């Protein structure tokens, strides 16, 4: 069993770390306060092909579609500097561009995937509604066929990238079979009449990331815009979320790593009672626990990525990775604030932002409670 990264993966880590520190680090706090992504970073992200990380070069991507570990490394390194950018690119790639590559027809790839992979357009995956959060089966946004078009009515909430997205993957109800609802994923151009952006959410963390309500009023979508087949939406949606959880876990690994690094630096510099506070056992144990939790998360995340690339069933391990990594990030950022004392409560110190960002990660892409349900059901069904 080889845990080492390839030379290519090591180089990807180095390049992404240098990029993040050069282009994102100096404006991360300002972006958080303004709740706005910087357009210069957007331009540089596009140049680096970070919007097409998991898409083959033939469709305008970076060609890492069979190297999910490298995708995780990129997400981790961006998340180490700014979770808002990490979730923006991670969601765009993992739950919009990648499903289009996996399930889309060649015509759909040419029309929708290439602009997404090149970063010419931003994508959003839309499933959550007022009555359909953890219960994805509660989706009420509906569509009916009228000639060669589907007419869609309803709304979505908490859509990451929603207010800036130009291409949406939209999960809607398209009928019922017996007592079971049937769902379909549609590809939607944001310029379609009947589509509008509602309230933009004012969030606790990842504030620069755009999270918005989306409204659909008699919106007409061409019949050929279904992704993967009519009535296949629930299965496809779950597969999309499985893949997305790996990348959200990677984001949390980066966030936890940032908290550790900030804590080590502060503990070595801050002097109390005549010595650096890092000399005290209480601080040492916190840093040790942070390191163990984040490294365990990294290993689980890379395992899920490896299983994905080797065409193994990674659903349970992906949920484990997302659960462990999000809670490890919360633990690490909590301890980082504690180590910094009163300074940890001040916006001048990045750990205050890390703490808020980490709490978000325990909620989105499936709450910790949902991850435990997924894991337990799979264990009970098949054993370990």
Nearest Cα residue to 223 out of 158, 167, 144: 144
**Is 72 within 8 Å of 53 (Cβ atoms)?**
no
Q: Decide if 106 is catalytic.
A: no
Q: Taking Cα atoms as reference points, which of 298, 286, 292 lies closest to residue 253?
A: 298
In the chain, where do the E strands start and end?
Answer: 123-126, 142-146, 149-160, 167-177, 180-189, 195-200, 211-222, 226-227, 271-272, 275-276
The DSSP symbol for 4 reads P
Distance separating alpha carbons of residues 353 and 197, to the nearest angstrom: 27
SS3 state of residue 83: helix
**Can you spell out the DSSP letters for 215-243?**
EEEEEEEEGGGEES-TT-HHHHHHHHHHH
DSSP state of 58: G
CA atoms of 255 and 12, how far apart (whole Å): 18
d(CA 192, CA 69): 36
User: What is each CA distance from 150 to 70, 88, 137, 147, in whole angstroms?
Assistant: 38, 29, 20, 8
Reported as half-sphere exposure (CB side, CA atoms, 13 A), residue 241 has a value of: 23
Rounded to 10°, the helix 350-361/315-340 angle is: 150
Which of 76, 129, 327, 365 is catalytic? The answer is: 365
Q: Which residues are catalytic?
A: 365
């Amino acid at each position: 069993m080889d845990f080492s990264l390839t030379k290519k993966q090591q180089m990807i880590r180095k390049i992404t770390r240098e990029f993040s520190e050069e282009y994102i680090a100096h404006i991360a706090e300002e972006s958080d306060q303004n709740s706005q992504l910087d357009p210069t970073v957007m331009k540089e992200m596009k140049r680096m092909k970070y919007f097409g990380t998991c898409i083959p070069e033939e469709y305008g991507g970076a060609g890492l579609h069979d190297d999910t570990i490298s995708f995780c490394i990129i997400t981790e390194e961006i998340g180490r500097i700014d979770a808002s950018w990490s979730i923006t690119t991670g969601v765009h790639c993992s739950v919009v561009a990648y499903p289009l590559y996996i399930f889309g027809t060649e015509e759909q790839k040419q029309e929708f995937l290439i602009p997404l992979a090149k970063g010419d357009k931003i994508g959003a995956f839309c499933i959550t509604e007022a009555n359909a959060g953890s219960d994805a089966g509660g989706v009420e946004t509906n569509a009916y066929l009228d000639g060669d078009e589907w007419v869609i009515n309803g709304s979505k909430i908490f859509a990451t990238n929603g207010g800036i997205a130009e291409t949406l993957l939209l999960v809607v109800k398209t009928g019922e079979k017996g007592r079971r609802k049937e769902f379909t994923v549609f590809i939607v151009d944001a310029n379609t009449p009947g589509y509008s952006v509602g309230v933009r959410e004012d969030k606790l963390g990842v504030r620069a990331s755009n999270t918005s309500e989306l409204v659909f009023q008699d919106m007409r979508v061409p019949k050929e815009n279904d992704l993967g087949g009519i009535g296949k939406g629930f299965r496809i949606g779950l597969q999309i979320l499985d893949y997305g959880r790996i990348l959200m876990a990677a984001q949390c690994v980066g966030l936890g790593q940032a908290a550790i690094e900030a804590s080590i630096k502060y503990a070595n510099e801050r002097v109390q009672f005549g010595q650096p506070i890092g000399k005290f056992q209480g601080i040492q144990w916190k840093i040790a626990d942070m390191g163990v939790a984040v490294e365990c998360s990294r290993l689980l995340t890379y395992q899920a990525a490896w299983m994905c690339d080797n065409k193994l069933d990674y659903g349970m391990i992906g949920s484990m990775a997302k659960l462990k990594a999000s809670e490890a990030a919360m633990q690490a950022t909590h301890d980082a604030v504690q180590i910094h004392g009163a300074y940890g409560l001040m916006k001048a110190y990045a750990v205050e932002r890390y703490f808020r960002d980490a709490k978000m990660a325990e909620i989105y892409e499936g709450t910790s409670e949902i991850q435990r349900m997924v894991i337990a059901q799979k264990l009970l069904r098949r054993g370990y």
